[in-house]
Structure 1
Amino acid sequence: MKQLLTAAGLALLFSACSVNYEKTKSGIAYKIFKGKGGEKLKAGEYVKFNADIRIIERDTTLNTTMGRVPAYAMVDTSKRTEYSFMEIISKCSVGDSTVFILSVDSLIKRNMINPADKSFKKGDRITCKIKILKAFKSEQDVEPDYKQESELEKAREIKEVEKYLADKGIKAEKTKNGAFVEVQSAGEGIKAETGKEASVMYRGYLMTNNSSVFDTNMDSTKGHTDPYKVQVGTGSVIPGWEEALPYFGKGGKGRIFVPAMLAYGMQARPEIPAYSNLIFDIEVKDVNAPAPPPAAAPAVPGLPGGGQGQSH
């Protein structure tokens, strides 16, 4: 992969060579580096691209897809894309790269950034580097490509988790889709399988920083200590949990090692950066059949869900 320009380098490039940079009607300074004559992007098509977005003044990465799952977006040339990355992308062809700068002050003025967001400061500039990878005619064409990229990402993360386990000398069993379960005590009775309700105590932290606990109910540090009730198999928890809980019965204890794509993937959450592999200490306090749903009210003839109305 080609080395990225640092934010400081980009700032110098803009200040030293500003004469070579153009400006959009909305005021974005940009430079397009032409590729090998790829197809010009058209409105309504979908574009696949890599992006690296940073705050110049602090060299802080806001988001990057480099080495991860590329981004996808529909090409939009309408007025609503003014002062956004799409205003630049719509000028590109497949294979092009572009660098541009956005003003935080301008983004706030346009109501595109919340002034209360402490990630940004007055006077900050956001620098974006984008590489156009491919174009698709329709959203249906995007789906298989995105699925392939996601599988490649998951495979990379599984290797990262396997290396972590090997380095730490941890013996864990791999689930069907790539989570890893260390069973310290299997527990007793029925397992927390699909269709069962499990009451779980947990502590979750980043694999890259075992002291960085982002949530727990094992103590009061996060403001809640009640067991977390999970109806297994309903998709109410991350896939890594869905696959790991059936290893445990009542009283079961262990750890779950979850690749990011079986957790929160590319979506950053409070205290969890995008593409974070996670570890959970868990204890299954109980396993039961879930409570039956409340009985449905009897259908009333003539109302939705009932039979056809009849005159009496």
Structure 2
Amino acid sequence: MKKIVIILGVAVLGLSSCKQFKKGEGDMMYKIHEDKSGETIKEGDFVAFNAIEKTEEDSVLYSSYDYDRPSLLVKEKSLFTGDLFAALGMLSEGDSATFKINIDSMVAKMGRPKPTNTKGKYLLYVIKVDKIIPKGKLTDSIFRGQIDTYLKAEQDKAKGAEGAKFNAYISKENLKPTVTASGLNYTVTKEGSGPKPVAGDTVLVNYTGKFLSGKVFDTSYPEIAKKAGTFNAQRPYEPLKMPVGMNGSIPGFEEGLMLFSKGTKATIILPSKLAYGEQGSQGIPPFTPLIFDIEMVNIIPAKPGSVSPQPAPVPAN
């Protein structure tokens, strides 16, 4: 069965740092924080777990908590002695631990680029196992059915919790947003001047897209991308140029752009129904609210009688 794409986030991990690391297989080092009874994870088992990946200098490279969903995978055969699959094989449901995995082995055996922000020998993985569905002797269809049941329950949980999380963020940040009829929330930090864009106009806009956790998933600013660890040297970092009113973006992003005149700086906060909804998108789980900090750089009016412009790509992970 192919490895399931990682989805992301749930739960809080309380760990004790007093225990010393022990020697595992190969170059792996490990420290068990919580050891529950039960069967350990076997090859072929489905696993839902929260994970933080960081350097020995404590720089976080990835955290499932940023996405408010657990990571999901089917345990595969180890790619090298002492890899992360071997680490998971030491744990049972409810266990938590920290593992040190050799960077050079990951580069050599997995083709992973070596992180540039560490001089250490290891990457650290702080893991808490939430759910195991054993493959055992189950047929593929029954096994897949059990996984689908679990995923549906998690999706229902996320749907039910979205409103409370959205409101908690507004309260925590002490915001007093304007709320549109669609449910879009926005605050203006700098007022622009001149007319607002109308359908068919083209806008140039700088933006930073974030989750409620503050994790940046996309931005037009290179310095923010570098700080967030999302920088991609292959893409241009410049204002997004796109027509408005052409259904070329997620509904809330496009609605937000049509609220502001040139020079405006604002933050729009979108419930998932105005973003990627119940389907989610690559790197964005279902029922996930999104935040966009935007700056309206320019508005180019449509020429009278001109052909409608083609939709531009939506900001994405």
Question: What is the TM-score of this pair, normalised by structure 2?
Answer: 0.59
Asked if 1 retains the 8 angstrom alpha-carbon contact of 2:206 and 2:296, the reply is: yes
Pair 1:255-2:255 in alignment: no
Asked if 2 retains the 8 angstrom alpha-carbon contact of 1:54 and 1:126, the reply is: yes
Count the aligned residue pairs: 257
Structural RMSD (CA): 4.7
Superposed counterparts of 1:1-312, under 5 Å: 1=12, 3-5=14-16, 13-14=20-21, 18=22, 21=23, 23-24=24-25, 26-32=26-32, 33-37=34-38, 40-56=40-56, 58-66=57-65, 68-80=67-79, 83-115=82-114, 117-121=115-119, 123-136=120-133, 137-138=143-144, 139-148=147-156, 150-151=158-159, 152=161, 155-156=164-165, 159-164=168-173, 166=175, 171-173=177-179, 176=182, 179-180=185-186, 182=188, 184=191, 191-192=198-199, 196=200, 198-202=202-206, 204=208, 215=220, 228-230=241-243, 232=245, 234=247, 236=249, 240-247=252-259, 253=264, 255-258=266-269, 277-282=291-296, 285-286=299-300, 288=302, 290-291=308-309
1:215 maps to amino acid: S
Partner secondary structure for residue 110 of structure 1: helix
The farther-off stretch of 100-109 and 224-233 is 224-233
User: Shift of residue 49 of structure 1?
Assistant: 0.9
Partner of 1:298: none
5+ residue gaps in structure 2?
Answer: 1-11, 134-142, 223-234, 312-317
**What are the Cα deviations for residues 172-218 of structure 1, in whole angstroms up to 9, with x where unaligned?**
225746542549579758844xxx55423335488999xxx95369x
Structure 1 residues 147 and 184: alpha-carbon distance in aligned structure 2, compared to 1, 3 A threshold: farther
User: Shift of residue 159 of structure 1?
Assistant: 2.8
Partner secondary structure for residue 173 of structure 2: helix
1:118 maps to amino acid: T
Highest CA radius of gyration, 1 or 2?
A: 1
User: Shift of residue 101 of structure 1?
Assistant: 1.0
Structure 1 residues 283 and 149: alpha-carbon distance in aligned structure 2, compared to 1, 3 A threshold: farther
Identity over aligned residues, as a percent?
A: 17
Asked if 2 retains the 8 angstrom alpha-carbon contact of 1:158 and 1:178, the reply is: no
Asked if 2 retains the 8 angstrom alpha-carbon contact of 1:49 and 1:133, the reply is: yes
Structure 1 residues 80 and 104: alpha-carbon distance in aligned structure 2, compared to 1, 3 A threshold: closer
Return the alpha-carbon distance in structure 2 between the equivalents of residues 5 and 225 of structure 1.
44
Return the alpha-carbon distance in structure 2 between the equivalents of residues 233 and 143 of structure 1.
34
Return the alpha-carbon distance in structure 1 between the equivalents of residues 52 and 238 of structure 2.
39
5+ residue gaps in structure 1?
Answer: 269-274, 294-312
Question: What is the TM-score of this pair, normalised by structure 1?
Answer: 0.60
